[in-house]
Amino acid sequence: MSLKINVRHLEEKDLQVQGKLPAAELELDEDDELVRARLPLHYDLRVHQAGQDVLVRGRLEMALDCECARCLKPFRFRLKIPDWLLHLPAEGPEQAVLKDDVVDLTPHLREAILLEFPQHPLCDSDCAGLPQRADASGQKTEGSGPMPEASAWAELNKLKF
């Protein structure tokens, strides 16, 4: 179920379209380990014909299941695009692809959502990362830092000359 608009209906009056689009329909890649789109996209759009061009304006919202990049805690991120605007020209390299007088807005919605994905999702802007823990010697180490590696040189550093 994609979001398709018949441009013939725009000749009479502007269209107001509201609804939900399943996340699977947007074909958002699942390659990102920290961001998952599982819930539907909510849209409230006004579609207008300006000459031969199509203008779409409205609001997009989607909840994303994320994992904090610092502490790895799961959280929900509300992606909101309050003033989304799309211009589909009738001519030129960016022209709207029409099939039986119908234009599919789904690829354009997908692009808008992907551009708004959080690149470095944080559960809170003050997130300190993983909690501190004690290492084998009883000293506290920073949880988010790299683990010290055991090396052959470590034993040589213990020698006293």
Q: What is the pTM of this model?
A: 0.73
Q: The sheet that has 102-104: what strands, in order across it? A: 4-6, 102-104, 98-99
What pLDDT was estimated at residue 152? Answer: 67
What is the DSSP annotation of 42-102? EEEEEEEEETTEEEEEEEEEEEEEEE-TTT--EEEEEEEEEEEEEEE-SSSTT---EETTE
Q: How far apart are CA 100 and CA 159, in angstroms?
A: 82
pLDDT tens digit sequence for 19-34: 999 988 888 876 778 8
Residue 2 has pLDDT above 70, yes or no: yes
List the domain boundaries for the chain.
Answer: 4-116
Give the residue-averaged pLDDT of 97-102. Answer: 76
What pLDDT was estimated at residue 135? Answer: 56
What pLDDT was estimated at residue 153? Answer: 74
What confidence tier does 144 reach under pLDDT thresholds 50, 70, 90? very low
Please give the mean pLDDT across all residues of the chain: 83
Question: Higher pLDDT residue, 23 or 98?
Answer: 23
Highest mean pLDDT among 5-14, 67-76, 151-160: 67-76
**Tokens linked to 95:** 């022209």
What pLDDT was estimated at residue 149? Answer: 58
